[in-house]
């Protein structure tokens, strides 16, 4: 098997050297070039044709986001963004996914991280995964406007408190719930699915997207601004309501638990710092395993693109309880890992390309 050809882009000579050494510690990867700014990166991508690019964000001459936009437009190549953990960078990373980035990695100590070796295994794993991605799956995503329809829906909900209380106090046996799990390529997949769901959705939607702390809030806000349903990052104690999408905050497992107040039992969100499961927190399995005992056969599990097998155990329990399962088809997955783990166990009721999954959800709630 030929070595993966990587291009390392960073304005820090130290970071370029460290990242190169980390990647080349894996015999499957060869760094064929290094660039110190976005313009230099564009020239070297065009000339060297790497299999994967690691791209810093803040650089002189031309920053990483604009370099990414040019690369994906003119010479599409899988790109992994490297980011410091900050609100500003979180917004840039969300834009990068729309431009066509495969994934991102957080530098542990800012733009120049002397402890970068902490992310060595993650970087190597993601470069390997990115090298297998077909670039036609990374086309530019145009942003949408939720428009008047969503604003009117929100206004109606504000005025009609009685209707809300009726919905959330319904016997849970009659209430459907949708759980979506995803990882690599997830922000793109979630955009396709959530922006296609109609206002007045009759079921709550809970989402686990593998992301570190500080990024899921920007993801939720970006998706909310482009969708006709309400989407936000989950908080401890949030009520689980029809028509509301709650995204697990990075760094926390999200679970569903029941709270009884004045004789009324309601389902609410719980957040925990329990140990990582399969190396991730939030975990799809943890969420599903909390949902199934409460919702049982009224649970709909949806597994989208992603590395690894997180979600397959929870899906097995969901199926045993009589719930239904939708899986993204390999043809549209950026990385066919999590869906494959479900399909290989014959647990999928429906397998759809990404542009058909919202329709599939609507048919099963």
Active site residue 310: yes
Q: Among the options 89, 191, 192, 210, which is catalytic?
A: 210
Q: What angle do CA 279, 255, 361 make, to 5 degrees?
A: 95
What residues form DSSP beta bridges with 34?
8
Radius of gyration for the alpha carbons in the chain, expressed in angstroms and rounded: 21
Q: Look at residues 69, 13, 23, 29 and name the one whose alpha carbon lies nearest to residue 45.
A: 69
Q: What is the DSSP string of 247-297?
A: EPPTTSEEEEEEEEETTEEEEEEEEE-PPPBTTBSS-HHHHHHHHHHHHGG
Residue 242 in contact with residue 217, Cβ under 8 Å?
no
Q: How far apart are CA 96 and CA 75, in angstroms?
A: 16
Question: CA nearest 51: which of 135, 162, 121, 110?
Answer: 135
In the numeric block, the tokens 């829906």 are attached to: 153
Name the strand (E) or helix (H) holding 72.
Answer: helix 64-74
Tokens 């908080």 belong to: 235
Cis peptide before 39 (omega within 30 of 0): no
The alpha-helical segments, DSSP class H, found in the chain are: 13-24, 38-48, 64-74, 87-99, 120-131, 147-159, 161-168, 186-194, 216-226, 284-295, 312-320, 338-343, 357-363
Catalytic-residue membership of 349? no
Please name the residue that has the structure tokens 């070595």.
3
Check if 183 is active-site: yes
In angstroms, the CA 11 to CA 107 distance is 14
Q: Which of 40, 89, 310, 312 is catalytic?
A: 310
SS3 332: coil
**Among candidates 14, 28, 70, 61, which has minimal Cα distance to 6?**
28
For residues 78 and 50, the answer to whether their CB atoms sit within 8 Å is: no
Out of 83, 113, 131, 183, the active site residue is 183
Alpha-carbon span 215 to 226, nearest angstrom: 17
Rounded to an integer, what distance in angstroms lies between the CA atom of residue 81 and that of residue 69? 12
Active site residues: 183, 210, 310
């Amino acid at each position: 098997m030929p070595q993966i050809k990587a291009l390392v882009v960073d304005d820090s000579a130290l970071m370029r050297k460290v990242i190169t050494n980390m990647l080349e510690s894996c015999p499957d990867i060869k760094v064929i070039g290094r660039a110190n700014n976005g313009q230099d990166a564009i020239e070297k991508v065009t000339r060297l044709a790497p299999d994967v690019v690691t791209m810093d964000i803040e650089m002189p001459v031309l920053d990483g986001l604009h370099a990414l936009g040019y690369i994906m437009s003119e010479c599409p190549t899988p790109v992994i963004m490297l980011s410091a953990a900050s609100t500003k960078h979180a917004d840039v990373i969300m834009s990068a996914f729309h431009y066509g980035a495969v994934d991102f990695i957080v530098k542990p100590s800012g733009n120049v991280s002397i402890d970068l070796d902490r992310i060595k295994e993650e970087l190597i794993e993601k470069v390997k995964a990115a090298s297998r991605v077909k670039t036609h799956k990374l086309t530019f995503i145009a942003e949408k406007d939720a428009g008047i329809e969503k604003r009117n829906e929100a206004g109606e909900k504000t005025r009609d408190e009685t209707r809300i209380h009726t919905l959330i106090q319904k016997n849970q046996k009659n209430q459907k719930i949708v759980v979506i799990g995803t990882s690599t390529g997830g922000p793109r997949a979630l955009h396709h699915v959530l922006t296609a769901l109609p206002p007045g959705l009759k079921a709550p939607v809970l989402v686990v997207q593998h992301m570190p702390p500080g990024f899921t809030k920007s993801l939720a806000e970006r998706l909310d601004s482009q969708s006709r349903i309400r989407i936000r990052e989950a908080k401890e104690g949030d009520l689980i309501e029809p028509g509301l999408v709650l995204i697990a905050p990075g760094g926390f497992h999200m679970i569903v638990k029941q709270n009884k107040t004045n004789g009324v039992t309601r389902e609410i969100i719980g957040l925990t710092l329990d140990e990582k499961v399969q190396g991730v927190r939030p975990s799809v399995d943890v969420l599903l395993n909390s949902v199934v005992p409460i919702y049982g056969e009224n649970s709909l599990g949806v597994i989208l693109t992603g590395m690894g097998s997180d979600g397959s155990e929870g899906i097995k329990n969901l199926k045993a309880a009589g719930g239904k399962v939708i899986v993204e088809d390999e043809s549209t997955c950026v990385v066919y890992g999590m869906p494959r783990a479900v399909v290989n166990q014959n647990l999928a009721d429906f397998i759809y390309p990404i542009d058909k999954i919202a329709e599939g959800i609507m048919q099963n709630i």
